[in-house]
Amino acid sequence: MISLFACFPESIASFSPEFTVNTWNLRSLSQVPCSLGHGFRFPRQLRRLRTILTCSDSSSQSWNVPVLSSSEVIDRLKQARKGQQQFLAMYSSVVDGITTDPAAMVLPLDDHMVHRGHGVFDTAMIINGYLYELDQHLDRILRSASMAKIPLPFDRETIKRILIQTVSVSGCRDGSLRYWLSAGPGDFLLSPSQCLKPTLYAIVIKTNLAINPTGVKVVTSSIPIKPPEFATVKSVNYLPNVLSQMEAEANGAYAGIWVSEDGFIAEGPNMNVAFVVNGGKELVMPRFDNVLSGCTAKRTLTLVEQLLSKGMLKSVKVMDVTVEDGKKADEMMLIGSGVLIRPVIQWDEEFIGDGKEGPIAKALLDLLLEDMRSGPPSVRVLIPY
């Protein structure tokens, strides 16, 4: 049980002796007599009030919660962020500026994205001083914002310029740029009608490119998949994705695979999937109609043409794929900006193909890495440091 107490540094005049102790239960304050006879009033001394939350349990612990000045808050934020050097720069349209101090990389609590999930986001990789597929990711977040009915705080070119400048200020040559569009701060109501204006946030994170061709296990996710009308929006509401990932990890797997109500394979929690079938000669990818249109997956469909020209594959299809067909595939792989191309060697209790990493997944990973490091200007934007 939790009780609220008022704590005073000294006795307060006009209160009866039994209440001039240092700590009183506020539930008893209504019984405190007042010398003027007009009911209970807080005297001037109560300006020095401090509140204490006391838990009436076996430990009888008490916590003093300090009231901090703005400078004290900043000092504590700096201490809390000490050693977190991976956050290199952040832009916020709330202050209309860029900061390189991790302690200042904060969002308003009343931002509609924070307390209602009314926001969208996207990510672009930073590879050797270039932003990979920035335009493609930017187009997607603008589509997501339109579907989420979030007005743009700036036009497309201004947003792009801000993102590039944020990376430039960070000095990061290898990492990731994550950015959000939100309905903005205003109040804590359900409707965004009182939000002051939409907001743009962006942060540069120093990371190493996750190149790991080792095969992994996946499981069929039991977490309900997002409705089709929301699955194609890259919103900040990732609770189903988080629960799916936690379920997979609890079962010793790398990721969970969502299956639609009609039995077709959908996607992973933050990646698309693809299969090699028909004796290793055909690449098949589930339709993007009811799943997130992955930029890396779509780029892979372009790069795979090189495998067709070499005779490693005979055809490529985007079509409905059943779980039964997927588990019988010669190869299975996860595709996304966070995993690149990651082979899957086991789904639930069944091995995929011979239970080893396949040649097509490796070839696609090599093509993707080459494209990220030396691809055409259409997929690589140079950062002016």
Q: Which residues are catalytic?
A: 234
pLDDT of residue 239: 94
Which pTM was predicted? 0.81
Summarised one tens digit per residue, pLDDT across range 139-198 is 999 999 999 999 999 999 999 999 999 999 999 999 999 999 999 999 999 999 999 999
Percent of the chain predicted with pLDDT > 90: 75
pLDDT(135) > 70: yes
Q: Are 147 and 233 within 8 A, CB to CB?
A: yes
pLDDT(273) > 90: yes
pLDDT(321) > 60: yes
pLDDT of residue 20: 40
Task: Single out the residue of 93, 89, 121, 122 nearest to residue 108, CA to CA.
Answer: 93
Domains identified in the chain and CATH numbers = 2-64 (no CATH), 70-206 (3.30.470.10), 216-374 (3.20.10.10)
> For the residues 293-316, what does the mean pLDDT come to?
96
3-state secondary structure at position 176: strand
pLDDT(4) > 80: no
pLDDT of residue 50: 42
Task: Single out the residue of 182, 167, 163 nearest to residue 235, CA to CA.
Answer: 182
**Residues 220, 269: Cα–Cα separation, whole Å:** 11
Task: Say which residue, 42 or 283, is predicted with more confidence.
Answer: 283
Confidence of residue 40 (pLDDT cuts 50, 70, 90): very low
Summarised one tens digit per residue, pLDDT across range 354-380 is 999 999 999 999 999 999 999 999 999
> For the residues 107-136, what does the mean pLDDT come to?
96
**Residues 127, 372: Cα–Cα separation, whole Å:** 7
Q: Which residues contact 261 (CB under 8 A, 6 or more apart)?
A: none
Q: What share of the chain is helix, strand, coil (3-state, %, to 5)?
A: 30, 25, 45
Question: By mean pLDDT, which of 31-40, 137-146, 230-239, 363-372 is the weakest?
Answer: 31-40
50-53 long-range contacts, CB within 8 A, separation 24+: 50/7, 51/4, 51/5, 51/6, 51/7, 52/5, 52/7, 52/23, 53/2, 53/4
pLDDT of residue 59: 52
